[in-house]
Structure 1
Amino acid sequence: MKLTIHGAARQVTGSMHLLEVDQYKILVDCGLDYEKDRSIQTNEDFPFNPGDIDVVILTHAHIDHSGNLPTLIRLGFNGQILCTPPTADLTELLLLDSVNIFMRKAHKGSNKRGKGKFNTGAQPLYLQKHVMDTVERFVTIGFNRPFRINGNVELTFIPVGHLLGAASAVLKVTEHGEEKSIAFTGDIGRKNYPVLNDPEELPQVDYLVSESTYGGRYHTKDKSVEETLIEVIDKACVKEQGRLIIPAFSIGRTQSLVYALNKIFTEGKLPQVKVFVDSPMATMATGIFRKYHSLVNQEAQAFYKDKGDEFEFDNLTYVETLKDSRQISNYYEPCIIISSAGMLEGGRIQDHLFYNIQNYYCTILFIGYCAKGTLGFRLLRGDPIVHIKDRELAVYATIKKTDVLSAHGDHDDLLNNIKHQDKTKLKKVFLVHGEGESMKLLADACEDAGYSVTIPEKDVVYDL
């Protein structure tokens, strides 16, 4: 059995791991790599022949895990993609959105070069046809249901929270009469997260490929999600009678935020404040959450039985059209605007910022990570002037940040997931999906606990 980390090796994005059992090749995740030194187009430079891959296992829908699947198919992959049912539906939604982003960039380039001409550097990585080809390859498997991939390999998906349908992939492999096991954690969620179930413990395995995103970092634990939101809303919308803008990713983060707000207002913990969810994708994703309602956590299911749909309440409006989105600027009562994207690098959120960044009575609350170079990063850094929609605008709005809605487990969560493994059985931990410092801090903690750890280099083959 051989393991090669082709993506998310000593970096966060582009998860892609190759497991070879005899001549059978299994690819675990196939995400877009959008590190700062790579262009989107370099994602088609696979370090293997896509036609040689026998099967793909997809841990969850996020683009850094799923976003390069259509490219893999476009370049020759002809096998099945194994995932949970919610992952299949959410991935289709995210991949179609990626096509729209590619096309906007391509047309933006063509406008600079002249009518009808594409900018060579901005050619779409794939088109809607390739996404539809990808969707046709999905074979869905429920949680905790062993699925035999072939005579020698059995797959089981274990719930890990993080996102609806997200799973760790546990593989039992029989090779030359010997049974071995390996688990790929995907992205590990956190306990007591709104809407999502807690991560389940993994069975004992021989090898563990673990994410390390929050290695060395710890979430705020002194306040709950609701307590944090109440404090911010009370100041921004009740006392100051202003507006609160929350940039939030459409899939996962928005649904958890809406549910938390629903509980706050339904239980009378704050006066009623108008809430706008301004993201067509968030509306579609919420429909998928409703479709798989049996997979949300027990608290959300109990709320549904007692008080109704956790994603609907009286003062909530899902904004559909662009025209309606622009009308929000004319709403002069206190309000909360939830809009994508979380790092402010596109989407309707830029319109809301354009009209509110110079509003002293506006608060912008970040609830997720903002990569270096993004508008969100510059605002969090405290830049007094920012560039939005071809304008230089002074920042008069209040900028706040909280990590209570981060869907990633922190250092303790990651370490405890590893420490659940019997150190006499677990031969090796491979750390992926993290920045260098995070990986090192988590590796040091694992070694202190008595585990053998490797931070793999990209494209290096490890014999297991």
Structure 2
Amino acid sequence: MKLTILGAAEQVTGSMHLLQLENYNILIDCGLDYEKDSRQIENMFFPFDPADIDVVILTHAHIDHSGNLPTLVRMGFNGQILCTPPTAELTELLLLDSVNIFLSKQNKRSRSKRQGSGPQPLYLYKHVAETVERFVTIGFQKEFRINENLSVTFIPVGHLLGAAAVYLTVNDNGTTKKIAFTGDIGRKNYPLLIDPQVIPPVDYLVSESTYGGRLHTTDTTLEQKLIETITESCIKYPGRLIIPAFSIGRTQALAYALNKLFSKKLLPPVKVFIDSPLASSATEIYHKYQHYLNDEAQDFYEDKTELTDFKELSYVHDKRESVSISNYHEPCIIISSAGMLEGGRIQDHLYYNIQNYYCTILFIGYCAKGTLGDRLLRGDPIVRLRNRDLMVYATIKQTDLLSGHGDHNDLLNTVKQQDPATLKKVFLVHGEKRSLNYLADALQQENYNVVIPKKDEIFEL
């Protein structure tokens, strides 16, 4: 049995791992690599023939794990894609949105005589439709036999609705081996989502390490942070609070948290705009799969009949409504995508507000290196929007209380559920080098055999 780390090696995005058995090839995740930039042609090339892949197993819907599936299908993959039911529906939304982004960027470039037409989209709507046809859904904690030598079980890990660790039982030439891929590990007590569950004992573990060496804030609660920030931004001063948030996952968690605040009357009424059609569609899926949510969320829904909708909230559906928000002169909260500020309607809100002294921009998630969000967080005094250099006068803030990733201790504890005497190797992926090294050092002190793979590195298991 061979394992090849094809993506998210010494970086965060582009998750893709190849597990090769005798005459059978399994691909775990097939994500876009944002370090290469999803517009660039590098995402189109696979270090294998897509037709040789027998099955894909998808941990969750986020684009850095699912976003290159249509390219795989377009280039010859003809097998099944296994995932949980919510992951299938959320992935379809995100892949369709990716096509919208590809086409939008292509149209912008084609209108620029200086830049020319630019690269072609990685895939089109028809390729997404062909991809969705290949989804086969499996519930949590239900062993699914792929063939006589291979079975998979999805273990809940929080992080996102339907997100799972992949637990594989393999018959390798008469020897039973177990290997797990954590996907992205969530955190305990996260809004809406269940806590990560224990991964059964394995021989090999491929673990994410996004927050290696970093601890989440513990000196305040999400409720306290939101009250403090909204009071400062919208009540004490008549300004506006802009929150870049991923349309799927982060937006639903934030809307739920705000719903609880306003329901308890802990804040005076403040208008809230969610400017993302994708978020609206994703929220419907969250409601459809309420039985996948945590007990608190289910109890709240039974009491209030709405998880993420409340009097002060308005969903913005079309571009005209989105533009009109700039003319709304009362204090307000604007939640819009994308979370890293790379595309989406959030860029329009930034363009109109980045030089507004009475505007606060609150980041609630991770921003990959090189993204516009990362540049604002590191304090760049000037950013480029719509081909203009704009001074940054808005207040930039950040909180990790809505991060969907477990921190250093959560990652450490996930691995420590395994016995170091029987766990042969831990492969650390999906992290920047600093995070990988911190987590590796901590695990080695606990007597685990840790490997930080290079991209395309092959391991005999």
Q: Shorter-chain TM-score: what band?
A: over 0.9
Output aligned runs, 1:236-251, within 5 Å: 236-251=233-248
Q: What 5-or-longer segments of structure 1 have no aligned partner?
A: none
1:17 matched to 2:14? The reply is no
- Residue from 397, 400, 408 that aligns with 2:397: 400
Q: Give me the TM-score of the superposition, normalised by structure 1.
A: 0.97
For residues 88 and 116 of structure 2, the distance between their equivalents in structure 1, rounded to whole angstroms, comes to: 32
Letter in 1 for 2:306: D
1:99 matched to 2:96? The reply is no
1:26 matched to 2:26? The reply is yes
Letter in 1 for 2:373: G
**Secondary structure at 1:112 match in 2:** coil
For residues 305 and 452 of structure 2, the distance between their equivalents in structure 1, rounded to whole angstroms, comes to: 47
Q: Which moved more, 1:198-207 or 1:392-401?
A: 392-401
Q: Residues 460, 392 of structure 1: CA spacing in aligned structure 2 closer, same or farther, 3 A cutoff?
A: closer
How far residue 367 of structure 1 moved from its aligned partner, in angstroms, is 0.8
How far residue 109 of structure 1 moved from its aligned partner, in angstroms, is 2.3
1:351 matched to 2:348? The reply is yes
1:7 matched to 2:7? The reply is yes
Post-superposition Cα deviations, 1:345-396, rounded to whole Å, max 9, x if no partner, equal: 2211122122222222211111112233332223222233322223333322
- Residue from 287, 307, 310 that aligns with 1:310: 307
For residues 99 and 422 of structure 1, the distance between their equivalents in structure 2, rounded to whole angstroms, comes to: 44
Q: Give me the TM-score of the superposition, normalised by structure 2.
A: 0.97
Q: Where does residue 211 of structure 1 map in the other structure?
A: 208
Q: Where does residue 164 of structure 2 map in the other structure?
A: 167
1:320 matched to 2:311? The reply is no
**Secondary structure at 2:112 match in 1:** helix
Output aligned runs, 1:70-85, within 5 Å: 70-85=70-85
Q: Where does residue 266 of structure 1 map in the other structure?
A: 263
| Contact in 1 for aligned 2:39/2:122 (Cα 8 Å) | no
| Contact in 2 for aligned 1:161/1:197 (Cα 8 Å) | yes
For residues 459 and 280 of structure 1, the distance between their equivalents in structure 2, rounded to whole angstroms, comes to: 37
Q: Which moved more, 1:389-398 or 1:290-299?
A: 389-398
Q: Where does residue 42 of structure 1 map in the other structure?
A: 42
How far residue 36 of structure 1 moved from its aligned partner, in angstroms, is 4.4
Q: Where does residue 430 of structure 1 map in the other structure?
A: 427
For residues 420 and 137 of structure 2, the distance between their equivalents in structure 1, rounded to whole angstroms, comes to: 33
Q: Where does residue 145 of structure 1 map in the other structure?
A: 142
Post-superposition Cα deviations, 1:83-139, rounded to whole Å, max 9, x if no partner, equal: 00010001111111111111122222222349xx973x4211111111100000000
Letter in 1 for 2:134: R
Q: Where does residue 229 of structure 1 map in the other structure?
A: 226
For residues 39 and 360 of structure 2, the distance between their equivalents in structure 1, rounded to whole angstroms, comes to: 34
**Secondary structure at 2:350 match in 1:** helix
Q: Where does residue 458 of structure 2 map in the other structure?
A: 461
Q: Where does residue 298 of structure 2 map in the other structure?
A: 301
For residues 172 and 15 of structure 1, the distance between their equivalents in structure 2, rounded to whole angstroms, comes to: 21
**Secondary structure at 1:122 match in 2:** coil
| Contact in 2 for aligned 1:33/1:40 (Cα 8 Å) | no
Q: Where does residue 61 of structure 1 map in the other structure?
A: 61
Residue correspondences, number? 461
**Secondary structure at 1:422 match in 2:** coil
Letter in 2 for 1:461: I
How far residue 156 of structure 1 moved from its aligned partner, in angstroms, is 0.1
For residues 53 and 230 of structure 1, the distance between their equivalents in structure 2, rounded to whole angstroms, comes to: 50
Q: What 5-or-longer segments of structure 2 have no aligned partner?
A: none
How far residue 3 of structure 1 moved from its aligned partner, in angstroms, is 0.8
Q: Which moved more, 1:160-169 or 1:322-331?
A: 322-331
| Contact in 1 for aligned 2:36/2:43 (Cα 8 Å) | no
For residues 437 and 372 of structure 1, the distance between their equivalents in structure 2, rounded to whole angstroms, comes to: 13
Letter in 1 for 2:295: Q
For residues 324 and 390 of structure 1, the distance between their equivalents in structure 2, rounded to whole angstroms, comes to: 24
| Contact in 1 for aligned 2:190/2:404 (Cα 8 Å) | yes
How far residue 40 of structure 1 moved from its aligned partner, in angstroms, is 2.7
Letter in 1 for 2:42: T
**Secondary structure at 1:171 match in 2:** strand
What is the aligned-residue RMSD (CA, Å)?
A: 1.5
For residues 424 and 410 of structure 1, the distance between their equivalents in structure 2, rounded to whole angstroms, comes to: 25
1:197 matched to 2:194? The reply is yes
Runs of 4 or more off by more than 3 Å in structure 1? 36-39
Identical-pair percentage = 68
Q: Where does residue 183 of structure 1 map in the other structure?
A: 180
1:381 matched to 2:378? The reply is yes
Q: Where does residue 368 of structure 1 map in the other structure?
A: 365
How far residue 39 of structure 1 moved from its aligned partner, in angstroms, is 5.7
